[in-house]
């Protein structure tokens, strides 16, 4: 049985999500909120709701948690821009961290091996590098599953509590973009220099994507051209 804090937080999420009640898929979002069983899950769905509201305010939201066209399951958000469907996956720092916690076995050995190969770096730098390698692997798997290759896609990173900033995301994008051409954009909300959901995100455009032009047109429509990081 969920304690009073869980019930109160669920009520808060329900209240915020009610602003999306007119959108197709709202019932699936309500069900997702009801199924959340821990604080990591609450933070993840909170990021998804806030991102969905942001797209709704921009006039782009078509459906919440749409069925995926390439496999069983659902994406987080479906957008529509100039007659083109755009799938969007939202990843919160909590959900990233949770997926990483299952891969901690052997991490000490990996750090030691890296220090042997690169003795000029510190133990902290080695741990940071290994952590980011795991983040990249997690995102490669997630985008492969959640963003269909025959549609333009957006990966949203909401990383305010995970210490993943523009510099880190630039490195992540460099590794992810070549093998995930469906990811036309990464949107980063990191709290860095005032960026948070509700304010303009930092943006990374995939030069390897066949949907690059759609991404650039979308940014022009949103007036976010000056937020692109190359």
Dump pLDDT digits (tens) for 51-110.
Answer: 999 999 999 999 999 999 999 999 999 999 999 999 999 987 556 666 555 555 556 666
Distances (CA, A) of 215 to 29, 73, 83, 137: 26, 25, 13, 24
Rounded CA separation 196/179 (Å): 28
- In the sheet that 84-91 helps form, which strands lie side by side, from edge to edge? 61-64, 77-81, 84-91, 153-158, 183-189, 202-205
User: What share of the chain in percent tops pLDDT 90?
Assistant: 48
CA gyration radius, the chain: 18
| pLDDT at residue 126, rounded to an integer | 60
Higher pLDDT, 20 or 167: 20
pLDDT at 26: 95
The domain limits of the chain are 60-227
Per-residue pLDDT, 98:
62
Distance CA(230)–CA(185), nearest Å, equals: 12
Span 135-184, pLDDT tens digits:
788 888 999 999 999 999 999 998 766 667 788 888 889 989 999 999 99
Q: What is the pTM of this model?
A: 0.85
Tokens of 25: 């898929």
Q: Evaluate if residue 114 carries a pLDDT over 60.
A: no
Rounded to whole angstroms, the Cα distance separating 109 from 168 reads 23
CA-to-CA distance for 181 and 178, rounded, in angstroms?
A: 6
Is residue 183 within a helix (H) or strand (E), and if so which, with residue range? strand 183-189
What's the confidence (pLDDT) of residue 210? 97
pLDDT > 70? residue 113: no
Contacts within 8 Å (CB) and 24+ apart, 187-195: 187/154, 187/155, 187/156, 187/157, 188/157, 188/159, 189/51, 189/156, 189/157, 189/158, 189/159, 189/160, 190/157, 190/158, 190/159, 190/160, 190/164, 190/165, 190/166, 191/160, 192/165, 192/166
| Mean pLDDT of the chain, nearest integer | 84
Closest CA to 159 of 125, 197, 127, 185: 197
* Owner of token pair 């000490």: 108
What is the C-alpha to C-alpha distance for residues 146 and 156, in angstroms, rounded to an integer? 12
Q: Which two tokens stand for residue 119?
A: 């003795």
pLDDT for the residue numbered 209: 97
Position 115 scores a pLDDT of 58
Report the percent of the chain where pLDDT is more than 70. Answer: 77
How high is the pLDDT of residue 102? 55
Nearest Cα neighbor of 137 from 84, 99, 184, 87 is 99
Q: How confident is the model at residue 42 (pLDDT cuts 50, 70, 90)?
A: confident
Out of 38-42, 74-78, 143-147, 208-212, least confident range = 38-42
């Amino acid at each position: 049985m969920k304690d009073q804090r869980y019930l109160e937080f669920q009520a808060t999420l329900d209240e915020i999500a009610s602003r999306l009640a007119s959108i197709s898929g709202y019932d699936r979002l309500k069900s997702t909120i009801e199924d959340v069983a821990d604080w990591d899950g609450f933070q993840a769905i909170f990021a998804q709701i806030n991102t969905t509201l942001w797209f709704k305010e921009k006039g782009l939201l078509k459906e919440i948690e749409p069925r995926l066209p390439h496999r069983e399951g659902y994406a987080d958000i479906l957008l529509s821009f100039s007659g083109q469907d755009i799938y969007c996956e939202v990843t919160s720092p909590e959900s990233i961290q949770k997926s990483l916690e299952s891969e901690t076995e052997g991490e000490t050995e990996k750090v030691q091996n890296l220090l042997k190969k690169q003795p000029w770096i510190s133990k902290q730098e080695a741990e940071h590098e290994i952590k980011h390698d795991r983040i990249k692997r997690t995102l490669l798997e997630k985008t492969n599953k959640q963003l269909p290759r025959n549609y333009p896609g957006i990966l949203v990173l909401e990383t305010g509590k995970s210490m993943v900033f523009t510099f880190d995301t630039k490195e992540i994008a460099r590794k992810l973009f070549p093998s995930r051409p469906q990811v036309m954009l990464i949107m980063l909300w990191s709290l860095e220099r005032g960026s948070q959901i509700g304010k303009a995100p930092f943006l990374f455009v995939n030069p390897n994507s066949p949907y690059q032009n759609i991404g650039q047109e979308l940014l022009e429509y949103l007036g976010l051209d000056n937020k692109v990081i190359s």
